[in-house]
């Protein structure tokens, strides 16, 4: 079964573990043996024992990230009338994580209408509204969530992630500012505010927020990340490289930090045969082993193999990256180059056309520049290399916003 690792699952899973749903969620139930995990007929379980087993199986699969597989079990429990709140929250998580936003909204609105609108429900509902393109409804649901749990940092952080995914930086800034009125010393919220300001073209206002985040949480993951992000926006790759090495040596050797280090080394100009290139490949491969579904790693590995002339390996990694991040322009730039190397001009042309459609949709030519020292490369703006540099720059910064 493919395992889905998504921000929505992590968000809601943390809420469950924090006690937002009944005590059953902290148990470790055995998977139901009465109905195979993948059967489409799980909803037909009739006895109370079977219904409880379906709920336990569905909740366990949800916590493990097997969202698609959890849904039939949860629907079986729902049809049996078992624990509407527990079933509804888990279904909301699964529908949100599998991008079935309208179904998530329907389930969560039903919970709200029945008087079960907890902070967890309202937060999930806000994520679903934002993700489906309804920011006003999302903001109102957020306010309800914040009124119920004003000091819960995670509620603000989860919605900041949803806004980042939608590139709704204005809404994200509103949510983070609201959170900072309740939690003025939250390093994570100051970091999020800095990112939103920088994405909106206000790096001058973002710099002190990055600095404050680093001061509030020295030596922490978020403290190091704030320093790295600040360096990237300043175009200071050497400083980013140095800080990433310090973070990893301090114990923050996770797949995100490793992926970011590998990507930064490539930005610094590491070439095959150089120690920096070998290090980039090593840390990226380690990142991929730890989390194979992290798109940043797969895309950077595709670039690594492309630079070595290993086009088949490059395509394999880039296609994974494309599946995980179909709107990432860097994927299509590198896939086009890889297919050209393989002599498949038809596929190369298809990738370039897809890139053109993607950039046109983004109104790339008017997008604010986020890393002047990389973008101002004295190349013709429309050249293939200039587009590639732009894509890699956007890719690096966007993916440093993920959290441990």
Domain ranges of the chain: 1-149
* Cα radius of gyration (the chain): 22
Please name the residues in contact with 69: beta carbons below 8 A apart, sequence gap of 6 or more.
Answer: 1, 37, 38, 61
Confidence of residue 292 (pLDDT cuts 50, 70, 90): very high
**How does residue 175 score in pLDDT terms, banded at 50, 70 and 90?**
very high
Q: What's the pLDDT at 209?
A: 98
**Is the separation of the CB atoms in 92 and 107 below 8 Å?**
yes
CA gap 82, 79 in Å, rounded: 8
**Mean pLDDT, residues 5-21:** 44
**Alpha helices, H only, 114-236:** 119-131, 135-148, 153-166, 169-182, 187-199, 203-216, 221-234
Q: Chain-centre distance of CA 318, in angstroms?
A: 18
Q: Kindly state which CATH superfamily the domain 1-149 is placed in.
A: Tetratricopeptide repeat domain (1.25.40.10)
Residue written as tokens 């053109």? Answer: 356
What is the number of other CB atoms lying within 10 angstroms of the CB of residue 46? 10
Kindly report the backbone phi and psi dihedral angles of residue 116, in degrees, each rounded to the nearest multiple of 5, phi listed first: -110, 30
CA proximity to 171, closest of 211, 199, 210, 205: 199
Residues in the chain: 404
pTM (two decimals):
0.77
Sorted by sequence, the CB contacts under 8 Å of residue 287 that are 6+ apart come out as 255, 256, 258, 259, 262, 294, 297
Q: Across the chain, which distance is largest between two alpha carbons, in Å?
A: 71
Q: Look at residue 62 and tell me whether its pLDDT is greater than 80.
A: yes
Token pair belonging to 122: 């309202």
Q: Is the pLDDT of residue 46 over 80?
A: no
């Amino acid at each position: 079964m493919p395992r889905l690792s998504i921000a929505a699952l992590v968000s809601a899973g943390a809420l469950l573990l924090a006690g937002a749903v009944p005590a059953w969620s902290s148990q470790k139930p055995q998977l139901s043996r009465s109905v195979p995990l993948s059967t489409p007929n799980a909803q037909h379980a009739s006895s109370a024992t079977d219904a409880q087993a379906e709920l336990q199986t569905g909740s366990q699969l949800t916590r493990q990230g097997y969202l698609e597989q959890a849904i039939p079990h949860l629907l079986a429990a729902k049809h049996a009338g078992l624990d509407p709140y527990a079933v509804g929250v888990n279904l909301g998580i699964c529908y949100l994580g599998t991008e079935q936003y309208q179904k998530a909204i329907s389930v969560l609105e039903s919970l709200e209408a029945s008087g079960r609108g907890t902070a967890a429900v309202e937060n999930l509902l806000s994520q679903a509204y934002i993700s489906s393109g309804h920011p006003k409804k999302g903001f109102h649901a957020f306010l309800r969530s914040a009124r119920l749990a004003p000091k819960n940092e995670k509620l603000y952080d989860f919605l900041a992630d949803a806004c980042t995914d939608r590139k709704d930086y204005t809404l994200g800034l509103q949510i983070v500012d609201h959170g900072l009125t309740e939690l003025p010393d939250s390093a994570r919220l100051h970091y999020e505010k800095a990112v939103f300001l920088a994405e909106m073209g206000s790096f001058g206002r973002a710099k002190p927020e990055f600095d404050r985040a680093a001061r509030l949480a020295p030596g922490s993951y978020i403290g190091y990340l704030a320093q790295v992000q600040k360096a990237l926006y300043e175009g200071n790759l050497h400083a980013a490289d140095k800080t990433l090495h310090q973070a990893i040596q301090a114990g923050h050797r996770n797949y995100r930090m490793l992926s970011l280090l590998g990507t930064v080394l490539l930005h610094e100009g590491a070439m095959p045969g150089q120690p920096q290139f070998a290090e980039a490949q090593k840390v990226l491969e380690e990142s991929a082993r730890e989390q194979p579904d992290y798109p940043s790693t797969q895309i950077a590995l595709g670039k690594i193999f492309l630079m070595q002339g290993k086009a088949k390996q490059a395509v394999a990694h880039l296609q994974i990256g494309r599946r995980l991040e179909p709107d990432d322009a860097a994927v299509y730039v590198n896939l086009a180059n890889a297919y050209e190397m393989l002599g498949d001009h038809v596929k190369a042309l298809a990738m370039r056309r897809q890139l053109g459609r993607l950039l046109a949709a983004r109104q790339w030519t008017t997008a604010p520049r986020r890393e002047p020292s990389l973008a101002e490369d004295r190349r013709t703006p429309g050249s293939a290399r200039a587009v590639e540099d732009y894509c890699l720059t956007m890719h690096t910064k966007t993916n440093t916003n993920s959290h441990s």
